Amino acid sequence: MNHYIRLFFTLLFAKLKTRVDVFETTEKRFRVMPWDLDLLGHMNNGTYLQVADVARVGWMNQTGILSLMLKKKWGAILGGNIIHYRKSLTLFQQYKVRTKLLGWHDKWVFLEHRFVDQRDRLVCSCLSRAALRDRKAKKWVCMQQLSLDILGKHQLPDLPEKVVRWLEADDHIVQRDSFNKVY
């Protein structure tokens, strides 16, 4: 339930946020609540992924991708995460999530979510892979189409090495059913 509360407030206050360029990093503030804790008294591992979802929606809103998705009746589908935990967050501790576009290819968009504590120390780093689906046409949205609508004059950078290695690891794990392939 807390996931929906955070999402509700993210969308409610969306009008107050300044629109940013798709390559700018967005920042969203959070606080660890009692329902976020595990039995050891720190934020549950799964909560990080839920918070990354909320931060991703905030990023999509601030960059204009969310309004484009609503206009074109596209849906977003998460294709995977890879996450690394460095420090614990405890009850009522404030933290921020910085979300940044790393790039895209074919149908996948790659984002990085960096969780930092109030002293700006890295707590957790998460890479996410998402795709857009045209619900009317029942097909994947080609990222080249999105780049024309969103990027305009920008040149798309090459995927960072950490994303390339993640895709290579996926190929080894899932073999012929790799997420790297465009379906």
Please write the tens of the pLDDT for every residue from 88-98: 999 999 999 99
pLDDT (tens digit per residue) in 134-165: 988 888 888 776 666 666 656 667 889 999 89
How much is the pLDDT for 122? 98
How much is the pLDDT for 182? 45
With respect to residue 151, please indicate whether it lies within any of the assigned structural domains.
Answer: yes
How many whole angstroms separate alpha carbon 48 and alpha carbon 4?
14
How much is the pLDDT for 150? 67
Q: Range of 145's domain?
A: 2-156
With respect to residue 177, please indicate whether it lies within any of the assigned structural domains.
Answer: no
With respect to residue 120, please indicate whether it lies within any of the assigned structural domains.
Answer: yes
How many whole angstroms separate alpha carbon 115 and alpha carbon 48?
9
Residue 183 has pLDDT above 70, yes or no: no
With respect to residue 163, please indicate whether it lies within any of the assigned structural domains.
Answer: no
With respect to residue 167, please indicate whether it lies within any of the assigned structural domains.
Answer: no
Contact 103, 156 (CB under 8 A): yes
Q: Quick one: residue 31, left, alpha or beta (phi over 0 = left, psi -120 to 50 = alpha)?
A: beta
With respect to residue 85, please indicate whether it lies within any of the assigned structural domains.
Answer: yes
Number of domains in the chain: 1
With respect to residue 50, please indicate whether it lies within any of the assigned structural domains.
Answer: yes
- Could you tell me the CATH number of the domain that includes residue 45? 3.10.129.10
b (16+ CB within 10 A) / e for 93-114 = bebbbbbebbbbbebbbbbbbb
The helix or strand, by DSSP H or E, that contains position 33, with its residue range, turns out to be none
Where is average pLDDT lowest: 52-56, 103-107, 179-183? 179-183
With respect to residue 124, please indicate whether it lies within any of the assigned structural domains.
Answer: yes
